[in-house]
Structure 1
Amino acid sequence: MQQVFKNIKGDRLIWAIVALLAIFSFLPVYSAASNLAYNGVGRGTFSIFFGHFMHLLLGFLIVFIVHKIPYRYFRAISILLLPVVLMLLVITLMQGSSGSGTNTSRWIQIPVVGVSFQTSTFAFVVLMVYVAHYMSRVKDKVIAFKESILPLWTPVFFVLVLILPANFSTAAIMFCMVVVLVFLGGYPVRYLAVIIGLGIVALTLFVLTAKAFPDAMPNRVDTWMSRVESFTDDAITEEDYQIEKAKIAIASGGVQGVGPGKSTQKNFLPQSSSDFIFAIIVEEYGLIGGFILLFFYLALLFRIVIVSQKSDTIFGTLVVLGVGLPIVFQALINMAVAVQLFPVTGQTLPLISSGGTSIWMTCLAIGIILSVSAKREEIVNKEQREDNPLDILTEAI
């Protein structure tokens, strides 16, 4: 066991928070699995539970491998993977398969292992690393808007355009996170205002085009609009079914909850193990459990900021914020949807919800953060050894 901990580098609190979230996730996932098995996903309760365990096991393997890679290599890796990401997004858009419980083409099937993969989440991580690389490269230069269009905004544009038709919420979150990252990287605010304005215009044109040619993207724009309308309208419609059941679950939980595995609304929520798992958690563990979970995500945010500030390079600072902030932001959105503070988005609860791609890409981002933290740890240890010649002599012996 000591040998295992010896090979684990980086921020120990981040490791602890991620491990605790993953361990806790087994309880609500197993509870919701009974409903999934009953409703005919083709597997038993234990099979679903074991699948979640394997997803997390592979996820932690990803964290371990990635955190061992010196983070400076992620600059080149993001550049090399960007064309791959664009190709995968095109394939997904053309022949993607529908996910369980949805009517959108967001997944592609990996033939060798028979696993579906959501390419937009992978594209999210790669794009944020690429943007962090670009902003760190021009940090000490005067940024000209025209010069940034091709290397910065063109890749962002193509990634968003390929994701938008099937997954508006992910595209919107990605755009917001890119804007936040370039702002933190020192991109001029006046140029950002232009980009945001162009983004709004492009989205408007897309919606109008989809309305004019509904066969091109059947149901997608109508789905977005119906979700927004159901969120703003007090009248109860079919679109409100999930959110109403989620609110009932939260109200039923009260302060202390009904107890582990005793949720009743899991039998009515179609996405009880993924999109609306927070409602099941509050029902079973009460507001106390909900606030504790929120505390862990805020603690993760705090450690992400600490790691970014302690990084020895601008790229390290920006890449930690670029891949770390979306994790917490997605968690807050998931919780906000469950309590009807936000329209239904389909975003999962990181490290808690079931689903392989979401877990793996979150773990990939965590691995990158820990890689930056490990480098800082290495520098501090080296400085301490240089201050103590006895340590150097001991190592030589």
Structure 2
Amino acid sequence: MNNLLQKTKGDKVIWTIVFFLSAVSLLAVYSSTGSLAYRVYSGHTEYYLFKQLSVLILGILIIYFAHRVNYTIYSRVAQIGFLLSIPLLMYTLAFGSNLNDASRWIKLPVINLTFQTSDIAKLALFMYVARQLSKKQGVIDDFKKGFLPIILPVVVICGLIMPANMSTALLLGASCMLLCFIGRVPLKYLAGMIAAGLVLVVLMFGIAKLTGMEGRTKTWMSRIESFFLRKRMKSPTRCSRRRSGS
């Protein structure tokens, strides 16, 4: 046992978080899919639970072997991963499996398992941005030599993810901005990129409305409207009015 613990090196807090979230995911999957599995698989309520458990075990094994690899190797393969993720995302947009009016998944033919290519792109982009930040520290204040080589990959990947999954693209862009902030990128460059991103999103909504090619923008707008509707329903003024009216 001690030998196993010695081989399983790493941050204990991160390992604890991984196992905790894995256990929570099992409970969430079982509680939300038990009745569905009972109807589809003739009383086998644990079907999706065992499927999730097998995927979790595979994922933890991948994490274990990945954390044993020297981190400098990830820096070497970061560029390859970034270049591979671009055609993968383009293929997903054009030929990916369409679920819930969005092409986010690719189905593996042999094992009949779908996965989101954006997950691979996120990991590749984080490694690539970290690599670029390390290499460009000497010229990090220079816009052309330091900032553009770091931010252009972020724009490309987020732009390819956005048509099918806007929330993932925004979160990925925000995470990369945080990574750039930690990497000492000047705040004026980051503020400019955030402003440009907001303008781009507004323009995309406007063009979709004018041309009638709304696509996923209908889903985005309905989510935004429902969010503000819930906020208005929970506002103190409305609550006080209801109480006074009653």
Change (3 A) 1:24 1:153: closer
Shift of 1:3: 3.6
* Paired AA for residue 87 in structure 1: P
1:232 equivalent to 2:220? Answer no
* Paired AA for residue 27 in structure 2: L
Q: What residue is the counterpart of 1:108 in the other structure? A: 106
Shift of 1:42: 9.2
Structure with the higher helix share, 1 or 2: 2
* Paired AA for residue 58 in structure 2: L
* Paired AA for residue 28 in structure 1: A
1:221 equivalent to 2:212? Answer no
1:19 equivalent to 2:19? Answer yes
Q: TM-score, normalised by structure 1?
A: 0.54
Q: What residue is the counterpart of 2:235 in the other structure? A: none
Report the RMSD for the aligned CA atoms in angstroms: 2.3
* Paired AA for residue 76 in structure 1: R
Change (3 A) 1:39 1:85: farther
**Cα distance in 1, alignment partners of residues 196 and 40 from structure 2:** 45
Structure 1 unaligned regions, length at least 5:
237-397
Q: Secondary structure at the match of 2:118?
A: helix
Q: Tell me how many residue pairs correspond in the alignment.
A: 232
Q: Secondary structure at the match of 2:46?
A: helix
Change (3 A) 1:222 1:21: closer
* Paired AA for residue 79 in structure 2: I
Q: What residue is the counterpart of 1:94 in the other structure? A: 94
Q: What residue is the counterpart of 1:65 in the other structure? A: 65
Shift of 1:183: 1.1
How do residues 152-163 of structure 1 correspond to structure 2 at under 5 angstroms?
152-163=150-161
Structure 2 unaligned regions, length at least 5:
233-246
- Per-residue CA distance 1:186-228 (angstroms, 9 max, x = gap): 101111122112212222222222223344x52x111111111
Change (3 A) 1:199 1:13: closer
**Cα distance in 1, alignment partners of residues 26 and 195 from structure 2:** 43
Q: What residue is the counterpart of 2:142 in the other structure? A: 144
Change (3 A) 1:181 1:40: same
Q: Secondary structure at the match of 1:9?
A: coil
**Cα distance in 1, alignment partners of residues 119 and 174 from structure 2:** 15
How do residues 1-397 of structure 1 correspond to structure 2 at under 5 angstroms?
1-38=1-38, 40=40, 44-99=44-99, 102-148=100-146, 150-215=148-213, 218=215, 220-234=216-230
Change (3 A) 1:67 1:42: farther
**Cα distance in 1, alignment partners of residues 51 and 68 from structure 2:** 26
Deviates more, 1:154-163 or 1:140-149: 140-149
**Cα distance in 1, alignment partners of residues 139 and 36 from structure 2:** 54
Change (3 A) 1:112 1:179: same
Shift of 1:94: 0.6
Change (3 A) 1:89 1:7: same
**Cα distance in 1, alignment partners of residues 12 and 231 from structure 2:** 49
Shift of 1:235: 9.9
Q: 2:97·2:104 contact (CA, 8 Å) conserved in 1?
A: yes
Q: 2:139·2:146 contact (CA, 8 Å) conserved in 1?
A: no
Change (3 A) 1:43 1:221: farther
Shift of 1:39: 6.3
- What is the percent sequence identity of the aligned residues? 36
**Cα distance in 2, alignment partners of residues 191 and 201 from structure 1:** 15
**Cα distance in 1, alignment partners of residues 135 and 206 from structure 2:** 38
Q: 2:140·2:146 contact (CA, 8 Å) conserved in 1?
A: no
**Cα distance in 2, alignment partners of residues 234 and 7 from structure 1:** 50
Q: 2:139·2:145 contact (CA, 8 Å) conserved in 1?
A: no
Q: Secondary structure at the match of 1:107?
A: strand
